Structure 1
Amino acid sequence: MISLGPYAGFIVSSYAVVAVVVALLIFWVMLDYRRQKARLRDLERAGVTRRSRQGGSEAS
Structure 2
Amino acid sequence: MMVELGKYAGTVLAAYGITILLVLGLVAISLRRGARVKRALEAQERRMAKNG
Q: TM (normalized to structure 1)? A: 0.74
Normalized per residue, the structure richer in helix is 2
Give the Cα–Cα distance (whole angstroms) in 2 for the partners of residues 19 and 29 of structure 1.
15
Q: Secondary structure at the match of 1:2?
A: coil
Larger Rg: 1
Give the Cα–Cα distance (whole angstroms) in 2 for the partners of residues 34 and 20 of structure 1.
21
Deviation, structure 1 residue 38: 0.1
Structure 1 gap ranges (5+): 49-60
Following superposition, which runs of at least 4 residues in structure 1 exceed 4 angstroms of deviation? none
Give the Cα–Cα distance (whole angstroms) in 2 for the partners of residues 18 and 7 of structure 1.
16
Letter of the 2:37 counterpart: Q
**Which one has more relative contact order, counting CA pairs under 8 Å at least 6 apart?**
2
The percentage of aligned residue pairs carrying the same residue is: 29
Question: Would you say 1:4 and 2:13 are equivalent positions?
Answer: no
Question: Would you say 1:18 and 2:19 are equivalent positions?
Answer: yes
CA RMSD of aligned residues (A): 1.2
Structure 2 gap ranges (5+): none
Deviation, structure 1 residue 3: 1.2
Deviation, structure 1 residue 2: 1.9
